[in-house]
């Protein structure tokens, strides 16, 4: 029992091999065990909280009662290793490898180009693998649902879906028979194309799926389950003891002895509390082996489900009941099924339990409102006896509190069948369509007098509008005894407004939206019941046709996508890979888990782990740092502050110093104060939490740009640019309009958090650094300066990066400097890997921007003048902010020739974490402001927005506002082709017809152009170098200055080398990016990685090829290997450097002119959305994107970059919200609070066309940069949404321009629709108290 100090033996299997653990720690998760104890690093740490799916593995268990083996996917980061006794674990390494044989699930994601950075790929593979183990021929819906718990930040999901679509059971599933794409109209030929149509070929080119070849379930585990004597297991850890009883009596005895000890089942709540909230439980009781908790009993009056049953099991039980019972008895069961299908991801549903959901009593639980409304009850058990209590308003007594006594457990839940005349429905709304905690949910039930529409009984329960599940009793009283009519419900709405209230500072914010949702969900229930009354012949009335859309689901069937790209040049050699859709060079390594990332390097002897201590105050003086308690803790070696830095104590960005560790004062929450090093990560984390920093608060905290403007708090210089006479043009314009738009920030959410390993070599002050950095030379320089040693003693190595998007530049160098300091002082290797929450807190995000504009235009739509001011929230240090506000002004014209244009931009200094570079570098913000301005002009004039856009586009060779000449011919081609491909004119009529026929669903369609300048305005940043070795066996090793972070630079560089040396791709290898091989590199950023590094590699290869020319002439019939061997014998150097100087780019801000970009790339994108006006939820119905990227070096990689950038833009403009408290604390520190797009957010039809006939003399092989531009095209979703909102406002009698800030979240879209329900919420109540979160920028 609890007093035992020994640990029992834990036995399980991993990938077919037996594992016995004699000292299991209750705090050790399966992920930590796999990665550290077994060195199986294919499973990745992405968030630590079960929210991203990067750590997905398959768990298999044998049930001795049913004699069946169950396979299910789980998040290894949440699964306690103590829970694994008798289980078989399968990881990505266990299903296939490049060394033995690939599994089809690995091969298909690689061949479909479904892997970019590759960090999420093993998790995707294991989710899909588990589905195939259970169902070898799944449906498309099952595939989509299976991948719903896995996040990807690179690909945009489309190629993953297309790759796995090939497993579908039907030959006509989504019109695809093993092909990853199809013709635009869905009925064209599905032929694999060399370079023209689809990117992957038919099913016959894939490895067949053969279920007989899978790993068998270990027979020993079957014998253990059937014959092993079941005894209580105890596992003793450093801080906690885990006790796992096998009988219900033992469980109750333990709970009686330790009433405060929690019972753990799925660990989806308790695990998060321990990890993220620092909760410690001396005793943990596992109920996992108590069979009574899993019993299911079906009775005529209902079904009794054991509290230990997983949500996936509950779902299966309910599905069986719904199929076997008469429809009138299944109302509650069907409502629960509706909720369960959207609760969390598959991995969480497989372990989270029904009893845990009830007992945790979270206010936004999706099940509790339905269980309460459906007359369900729970059986509670203790040593004192059993009691059955209803799950009603009296069961939930506060936040996380129920009527359970400390020594009671939930044994089972009884779900009664519904009665004749009873209707039960469940509704939920969440920030993301799936795998997101609900904002508001509801369980509603009504029971009618027999054969009548008079209400006999009613229940209305809500989640998300109070500290616990809320019963709207006074609202119910308005309905009971009355007929089910609009008049009755009108009284109910009034009562509900008064009954369910939220204060302005209510946790979670969104007060008006949440309150309006309670009304709109009740209205939706009203319509569902009306339909039910008609269907059961109780009432002849039916839902008016224009109201039907309120009860119809948004479309969600993913259609096949279509891609088109240029053919290779005629006469091109078959061996020449340039222009061909070559698979990412590491795709198979990604899919098998063999790809090595920074934290995958093995631990070295004596290695320490570093954890940073961050500021808890936004603006304060540090009076004392107390490290005494931390130093006394187990495993702690030392604590380092700024005083320990031997060299420079700061880094210089934008000519302003940024402290590496705080020196006496902190200026934001999250600023790094000191660092703790210990022997393990858990010890370092615990010790860093024990460091006590004492503060003295300072006045004048600044959080918003308005506060910064008021207090003149800026990072200088501010910038301004102007052409024409703006003042005069305003006077002459027919119309002048002023508006503004606020754009929120965006977290990078690269899947691999900041990671680095610093190894002191012990000689000549040498340091070797392995880092996940876009700029290894900056890391090298920063570490050298921090330690006060020459750069030639420091080498930085980057194997690959698990996503970056601009977020692994400046802050990575500071983190590396701190880690190097620890390694320097301790003379031991030190590793630093940030937790997801730390990463989001420390590293900053995309700049939030306030854009204010004044626009003058003529009645025919010509814009004659614009004056735009941009205020970017830079945070507490400058970072790259001045460069960002410069790029904001340089791109402010987008595609429009506005003759009189003035722009001003300022980087506002605030007390928030410093914002930094992010894909697009200010362009997505500035173009959003301009497009919103153009949109407002169209609304004022009552014209389609694309008409105004087209009228104001550059039409002929022109000068930009900074006097750079360009020809817009390709821009106009993109625009026209997108109009044609998207069938815009026809579909606009269809949209108008749809909106006329539907009151509560609206559609919108928008076409957006893009002109994007590629390159660094700072000319010196456009240089690159390379080193190419040819070995005697003919193999080629290429090194260059670019880092591989998913954008495919290594693959493209291999293609360059293959062409220039005329050797197959298989002979060319790129190992890493290293400052030892290629010095003084520039960052991999600004979409120029391949442009510049490709040219440097080309230069080196041409040098080598020229050196071999005499050998080839001597032996024209020889082979590459023979030529190389001969060259060595003749003492010809087989190593060469290459260099590319780059273009002379500049911007003179005094003269307001320059050539800051090498060239422009152009695009146009048309998107159609459908909006639910009652909730603000939407679906992207179709996207057609035409992109000019010159002559693509690798179309599959480029299309992947375009799609991924588009989805990131969709997130930026419609979903992703960073929320800060009024005191500057970041609320959104993980995937639980911060929602990036998931599989459910992909456009249902996503067509990408690479413009044909485009050339670019300014870059390698006439290609163009592709990484950043398409982020802005995600704004087409925003503007389509804005059109849909405008249609809803028109129904409400509103017209003219209106405010819709970015992101256009469901909350903003719903409130902007101004439905009757939002109008019922009193405005004044939400404006008197301090809000829950800051309104940024």
Could you list the active site residues?
Answer: 1268
By CB atoms closer than 10 A (0-12, 13-18, 19+), residue 212 is exposed
What does the longest C-alpha to C-alpha distance in the chain come to? 103
CB 830 within 8 A of CB 601: no
20: left (phi over 0), alpha (psi -120 to 50) or beta: beta
Dig out the tokens for 50 from the structure: 């079960």
Element spanning 265, H or E: none
Q: Is the dihedral of CA 12, 14, 18, 20 positive or negative?
A: negative
Helix (H) or strand (E) holding 147: none
1250 with 1195: CB under 8 angstroms? Answer: yes
Strand partners, 458: 446
How buried is residue 279: exposed, middle or buried, by Cβ count under 10 Å (0-12/13-18/19+)? exposed
How many whole angstroms separate alpha carbon 152 and alpha carbon 298?
Answer: 41
339 near 426, Cβ under 8 Å? yes
| Nearest one of 600, 557, 603, 713 to 1182, comparing CA atoms | 557
* Whether 677 contacts 830, CB under 8 Å: yes
Enclosing H/E stretch for 1086: none
Nearest CA to 928 among 1271, 695, 1287? 1271
Q: What are phi and psi of 708, to 5 degrees?
A: -65, -40
- In the numeric block, the tokens 């708090």 are attached to 713
Can you list the alpha helix ranges (DSSP code H) found in 806-899?
A: 810-826, 836-842, 881-890
Contact between 440 and 518 under an 8 Å Cβ cutoff? The reply is: yes
Query: C-alpha angle with apex 624: 623 to 627, nearest 5 degrees?
Result: 165
Q: DSSP class of residue 791?
A: G
Q: Which two tokens stand for residue 1232?
A: 């639980």
d(CA 926, CA 910): 20
Pinpoint the alpha helices (H) of 1215-1322: 1275-1291, 1306-1313, 1316-1319
Cα separation, 758 vs 609, in Å, equals 10
Residues 1073, 798 contacting (CB under 8 angstroms): yes
Nearest in space to 1100 (alpha carbons), one of 1068, 1144, 1126, 1146: 1068
Contact in structure between 50 and 78 (CB atoms under 8 Å): yes
Joined tokens for residue 945: 């927005």
Give every CB contact of residue 1269 below 8 A, 6+ residues apart in sequence.
Answer: 920, 923, 1010, 1012, 1014, 1087, 1161, 1163, 1187, 1205
Determine if the peptide bond prior to 1337 is cis (ω within 30°).
yes
Q: How far apart are CA 58 and CA 125, in angstroms?
A: 10
383 three-class SS: coil
Distance separating alpha carbons of residues 76 and 1236, to the nearest angstrom = 21
Q: Is 334 helix (H, G, I), strand (E, B) or coil?
A: helix
The DSSP-derived string for 1202-1230 is HHHHHHHHHHHHHT----B-TTS-B---S
Which residues on adjacent β-strands are paired with residue 63? Answer: 68
Token duo for residue 1218: 């960073």
The residues with which 708 forms a beta bridge, in sequence order, are none
């Amino acid at each position: 029992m609890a007093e035992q100090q020994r640990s029992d033996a834990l036995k399980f299997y991993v990938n077919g091999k037996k594992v016995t653990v004699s000292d299991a720690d209750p705090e050790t998760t399966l992920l930590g065990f796999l990665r550290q104890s077994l060195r199986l690093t294919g499973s990745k740490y992405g968030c630590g909280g079960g929210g991203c799916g990067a750590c997905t593995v398959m768990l298999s268990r044998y049930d001795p009662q049913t004699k069946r083996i169950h396979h299910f996917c789980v998040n290894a980061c949440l699964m306690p290793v103590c829970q694994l006794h008798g289980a078989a674990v399968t990881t990505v390494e266990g299903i296939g490898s490049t060394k033995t044989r690939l599994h089809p699930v690995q091969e298909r994601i690689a061949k479909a180009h479904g892997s970019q950075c590759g960090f999420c790929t093993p998790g995707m593979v294991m989710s899909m693998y588990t589905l195939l183990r259970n169902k070898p021929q799944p449906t498309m819906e099952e595939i989509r649902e299976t991948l719903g718990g896995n996040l990807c930040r690179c690909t945009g999901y489309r190629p993953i879906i297309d790759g796995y679509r090939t497993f579908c059971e039907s030959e006509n599933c989504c019109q695809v028979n093993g092909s990853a794409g199809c013709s635009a109209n869905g009925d064209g030929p599905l032929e694999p194309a060399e370079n023209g149509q689809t990117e992957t070929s038919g099913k016959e080119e894939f490895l067949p799926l053969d279920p007989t070849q899978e790993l068998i379930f270990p027979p020993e585990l079957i014998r253990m389950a059937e014959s092993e004597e079941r005894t209580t297991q105890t596992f003793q850890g450093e801080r906690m003891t885990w006790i796992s009883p096998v009988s219900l009596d033992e469980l109750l005895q333990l709970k009686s002895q330790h009433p405060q000890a929690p019972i753990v089942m799925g660990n989806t709540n308790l695990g998060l509390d321990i990890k993220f909230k620092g909760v410690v439980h001396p005793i943990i009781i596992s109920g996992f082996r108590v069979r009574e908790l899993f019993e299911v009993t079906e009775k005529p009056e209902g079904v009794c489900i054991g509290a230990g049953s997983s949500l996936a099991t509950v779902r299966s039980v309910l599905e069986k009941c719904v199929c076997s019972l008469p429809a009138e008895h299944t109302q509650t069961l069907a409502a629960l099924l509706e909720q369960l299908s959207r609760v969390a991801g598959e991995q969480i549903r497989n372990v989270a339990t029904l009893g845990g959901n009830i007992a945790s009593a979270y206010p936004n639980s999706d099940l509790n409102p339905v269980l309460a409304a459906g007359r369900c009850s729970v059986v509670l058990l203790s040593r004192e006896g059993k009691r059955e209590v209803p799950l009603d308003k009296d069961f939930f007594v506060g936040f996380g509190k129920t009527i359970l006594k400390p020594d009671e457990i939930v044994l089972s839940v009884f779900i009664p069948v519904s009665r004749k005349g009873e209707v039960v429905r469940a509704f939920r709304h969440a920030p993301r369509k799936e795998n997101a905690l609900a904002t508001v949910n509801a369980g509603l039930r009504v029971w009618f007098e027999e054969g009548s529409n008079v209400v006999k009984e009613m229940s209305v329960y809500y989640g998300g509008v109070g500290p616990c599940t809320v019963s709207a009793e006074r609202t119910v009283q308005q309905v009971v005894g009355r007929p089910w009519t609009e008049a009755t419900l009108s009284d109910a709405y009034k009562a509900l407004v008064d009954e369910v209230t939220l204060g302005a500072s209510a946790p979670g914010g969104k007060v008006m939206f949440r309150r309006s949702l309670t009304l709109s969900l009740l209205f939706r229930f009203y319509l569902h019941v009306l339909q039910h009354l008609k269907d059961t012949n109780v009432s002849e009335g039916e839902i008016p046709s224009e109201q039907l859309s309120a009860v119809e689901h948004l479309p969600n069937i993913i259609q096949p996508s279509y891609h088109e790209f240029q053919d290779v040049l005629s006469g091109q050699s078959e061996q020449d890979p340039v222009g061909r859709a070559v698979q990412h060079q590491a795709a198979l390594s990604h899919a098998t888990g063999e790809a090595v990332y920074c934290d995958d390097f093995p631990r070295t002897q004596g290695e320490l782990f570093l954890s940073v201590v961050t500021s808890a105050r936004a603006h304060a003086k540090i009076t004392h740092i107390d490290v005494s308690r931390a130093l006394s803790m187990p495993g702690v070696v030392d604590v380092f502050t700024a005083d320990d830095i031997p060299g420079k104590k700061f880094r210089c960005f934008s000519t302003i110093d940024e402290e590496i560790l705080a020196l006496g004062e902190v200026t934001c929450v999250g600023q790094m104060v000191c660092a703790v090093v210990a022997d393990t990560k858990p010890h370092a984390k615990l010790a860093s939490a024990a460091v006590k920093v004492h503060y003295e608060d300072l006045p004048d905290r600044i959080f918003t740009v308005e506060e910064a403007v008021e207090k003149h708090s800026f990072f200088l210089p501010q910038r301004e640019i102007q052409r024409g006479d703006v003042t005069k043009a305003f006077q002459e314009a027919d119309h002048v309009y002023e508006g503004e738009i606020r754009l929120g920030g965006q977290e990078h959410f690269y899947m691999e958090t900041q990671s680095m390993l610093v190894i002191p070599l012990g000689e000549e002050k040498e340091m070797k650094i392995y880092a996940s950095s876009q700029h290894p030379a900056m890391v090298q320089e920063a570490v050298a300066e921090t330690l006060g040693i020459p750069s030639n003693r420091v080498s930085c190595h980057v194997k690959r990066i698990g996503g970056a998007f601009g977020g692994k530049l400046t802050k990575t160098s500071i983190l590396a400097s701190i880690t190097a300091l620890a390694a320097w002082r301790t003379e031991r290797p030190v590793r630093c890997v940030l937790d997801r929450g730390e990463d989001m807190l420390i590293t900053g995000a995309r700049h939030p921007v306030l854009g204010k504009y004044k626009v003058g235009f003529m009645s025919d739509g010509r814009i004659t003048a614009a004056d735009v001011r941009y205020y970017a929230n830079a945070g507490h240090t400058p970072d790259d902010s001045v460069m960002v506000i410069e790029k904001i002004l340089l791109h402010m014209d987008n595609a429009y020739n506005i003759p009189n244009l003035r722009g001003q931009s300022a980087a506002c200094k605030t007390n928030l974490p410093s914002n930094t570079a992010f894909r697009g570098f200010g362009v997505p913000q500035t173009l959003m402001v301009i497009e919103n301005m153009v949109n407002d002009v169209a609304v004022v004039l009552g014209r389609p927005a694309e008409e105004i856009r087209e009228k104001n586009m550059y039409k002929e060779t022109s000068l930009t506002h900074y006097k750079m000449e360009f020809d817009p011919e390709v821009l106009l081609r993109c625009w026209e082709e997108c109009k044609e491909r998207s069938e815009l004119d026809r579909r606009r009529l269809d949209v108008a017809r749809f909106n006329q026929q539907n009151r509560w669903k609206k559609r919108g369609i928008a076409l957006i152009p893009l002109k994007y300048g590629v390159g660094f305005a700072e000319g010196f940043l456009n240089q690159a170098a390379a080193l190419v070795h040819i070995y005697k066996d003919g193999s080629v090793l290429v090194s260059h200055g670019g880092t591989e972070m998913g954008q495919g630079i290594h693959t493209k560089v291999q293609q360059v080398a293959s062409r220039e040396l005329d050797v197959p791709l298989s002979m060319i290898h790129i190992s890493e990016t290293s400052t030892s091989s290629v010095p003084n590199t520039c960052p991999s950023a600004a979409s120029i990685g391949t442009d510049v590094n490709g040219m440097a590699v080309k230069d080196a290869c041409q040098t080598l090829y020229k050196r071999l020319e005499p050998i080839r002439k001597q032996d024209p019939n020889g082979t590459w290997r023979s030529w190389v061997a001969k060259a060595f014998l003749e003492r010809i150097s087989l190593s060469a450097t290459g260099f590319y100087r780059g273009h002379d780019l500049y911007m003179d801000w005094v003269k307001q002119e320059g050539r800051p970009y090498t060239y422009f790339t152009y695009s146009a994108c048309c998107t159609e959305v459908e909006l639910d006006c009652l909730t603000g939820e939407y679906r992207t119905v179709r996207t057609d994107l035409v992109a000019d990227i010159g002559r693509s070096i690798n179309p599959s990689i480029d299309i992947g970059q375009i799609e991924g950038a588009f989805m990131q833009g969709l997130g930026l403009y419609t979903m992703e919200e960073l929320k800060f408290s009024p005191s500057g604390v970041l609320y959104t520190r993980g995937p639980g609070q911060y929602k990036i797009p998931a599989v459910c957010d992909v456009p249902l039809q996503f067509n990408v066309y690479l413009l044909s006939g485009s050339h670019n003399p300014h870059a390698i092989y006439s290609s163009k940069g592709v990484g950043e531009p398409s982020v802005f095209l995600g704004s087409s979703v925003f503007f389509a949404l804005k059109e849909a909102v405008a249609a809803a406002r028109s129904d409400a009698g509103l017209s003219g321009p209106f405010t819709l800030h970015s992101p256009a979240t469901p909350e903003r879209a719903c409130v902007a629709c101004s439905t009757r329900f939002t109008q019922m919420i009193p405005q004044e109540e939400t404006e008197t108290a301090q809000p829950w979160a800051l309104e940024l920028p």
